[in-house]
Amino acid sequence: MSEHRVETPSAARPSRRAEYAETTRRAIVDAARELFSQKGFFAVKVDEIAASARVSPATVYAVAGASRACCRRWWTSGRPHRSSRRPPSASAG
């Protein structure tokens, strides 16, 4: 009898689904940051982020959650913590 082996994906290599999800998340984050930089945090609508990332608004909500706090974290992630309640707008300064 021949032995049938089933190869399992390596733990170090993410699944295609995980890769696709990360690509989608990255597109949304990048689109949000770009729009926030151009227009200011409070002037950007979820529909604009979705259009720029080429996903549906529902996908933005699924990835970010229903709260603008998630978008605020995207804006401030990787930057020093600011005590200001509002992120700077593109016109400030």
Contacts of 27 (CB under 8 A, 6+ apart): 53, 54, 55
Q: Residue 2: pLDDT band by 50, 70, 90 thresholds?
A: low
The Cα–Cα gap between 69 and 65 comes to 9
Q: Would 5 be classed as within a structural domain?
A: no
Q: State whether residue 41 is helix, strand or coil.
A: helix
- Structural domain for 38, as ranges: 16-76
Q: Look up the CATH number of the domain holding residue 56.
A: 1.10.10
Buried/exposed code over 20-36 (b: 16+ C-beta within 10 A; e: otherwise): eeeebbebbbebbbebb
Q: Would 90 be classed as within a structural domain?
A: no
Tell me the per-residue pLDDT of 43-89, one tens digit each, with 9 for 90 and over. 989 999 999 999 999 999 888 876 566 666 666 664 433 333 444 44
pLDDT reported for residue 82: 39
Query: What's the number of domains the chain is made of?
Result: 1
pLDDT reported for residue 29: 87
